[in-house]
Amino acid sequence: MRRYVLLYSAIFTLLTFSCAQTPQKHPSPKGYNLDQPIKFKMPDDLLEISGITFSRGNADMFYAIQDEEGKLFYGKLGADKVSHTKFGKHGDYEDLAICGNLVIVLKSNGKLYTFPLSEIKEQELTNVKELTKILPSGEYESMYVNEAARKLYVLCKNCDDERTSKSSTGYVFDILPDNTLKAGVTFQIEVKQIKKITGDDKMKFRPSAMAWNAQSKQWFIVSAVNQILVVADSNWNVTNVYPLDHKVFLQPEGIAFDSQNNMYISNEGDEFSRGNVLKFNYTSGK
């Protein structure tokens, strides 16, 4: 009998060790496994979901936009239906952020739209402000708000002064008490740092979403065109680049973290697949 007990114990130990040693199929940022997302399918209205965020990191309610209609969508991840309110005309809207009671939406041409979060249950918003000429001419898709510091970050996807694709320029704004924006410093993401890590000397970096990871003190930047996730330190120095499997990340256009540091990446759908949001649970011991 003792012999069988020892045999079963040895088999159990071997299996446990084998499972623990199974490598991930794709490299992932510390604390996450890009091979194991929880998938939330989006309703038909969000087939072309282009941005996602939370208010104060509360994942009980998500906020999103899509890149054709001037509508703010909101609801619970996994629900069959979500609510929406209209804030603007038909257009190419790419990202959104929330700072307290202020919602900020980024249009691809660099225009910003702001309106009160407390009024989104109205069918159509009337207290909407359009901010023009606040950003240089170019194409924009990435935006993030640091609510505690009341700072807005916008990263250019393809600007007129970046034809050489040597860098991506970002702009920082202070969100004043009256919710107006004051231009601050600029920053650069050096594409040569990404090229060095990936080995792709011909890369033209085209960021499509960005978010700050409060746990690791790093910037996470998604590029749908390049199909990569770039990680940079607080000074915007690129430290890692992770390839995104197209079978999992159909077209990654949005990224956000909740208060538990779980990561969410939204993907546009196509004629075969619905838009979705992928949740990656944070594991502190990983």
Residue 2: per-residue pLDDT: 42
Higher pLDDT, 31 or 6: 31
Residue 5 pLDDT greater than 50, yes or no = no
Residue (of 210, 253, 203, 209) closest to 67 by Cα position = 253
Higher pLDDT, 18 or 216: 216
**CATH architecture type of domain 26-280:** 6 Propeller (2.120)
The pLDDT > 90 percentage for the chain reads 77
How far, in Å, CA of 160 to CA of 162, rounded?
6
Residue reference for tokens 């209609």: 69
Residue 15 pLDDT greater than 50, yes or no = no
* Residue 149 per-residue DSSP state: T
How far, in Å, CA of 241 to CA of 200, rounded?
12
* Residue 88 per-residue DSSP state: S
Radius of gyration of the chain (CA): 21
How far, in Å, CA of 76 to CA of 60, rounded?
6
Residue 37: per-residue pLDDT: 96
Residue 161: per-residue pLDDT: 61
Q: Give 150-192 pLDDT, tens digit per residue.
A: 999 999 998 866 555 688 999 999 999 999 999 999 999 999 9
Q: Could you tell me the residue ranges of all domains in the chain?
A: 26-280
**Which residues sit opposite 106 in a β-bridge?**
95, 112
How far, in Å, CA of 117 to CA of 29, rounded?
32
Residue 259 pLDDT greater than 90, yes or no = yes
- Element spanning 167, H or E: strand 167-175
248's CB contacts (< 8 A; 6+ apart) are 34, 35, 37, 278
Tell me how many degrees the CA angle 39-45-49 measures, rounded to the nearest 5. Answer: 55
How far, in Å, CA of 220 to CA of 214, rounded?
11
What are the tokens at 142? Answer: 């990435």
Residue (of 50, 43, 104) closest to 78 by Cα position = 43
Higher pLDDT, 25 or 51: 51
- Element spanning 7, H or E: helix 2-20
What are the two backbone dihedrals, phi and then psi, of residue 270, each rounded to the nearest 5 degrees?
Answer: -145, -165
Q: Give 17-40 pLDDT, tens digit per residue.
A: 333 334 567 799 999 999 999 999
Residue 77 pLDDT greater than 90, yes or no = yes
Tell me how many degrees the CA angle 167-256-31 measures, rounded to the nearest 5. Answer: 90
User: Which pTM was predicted?
Assistant: 0.89
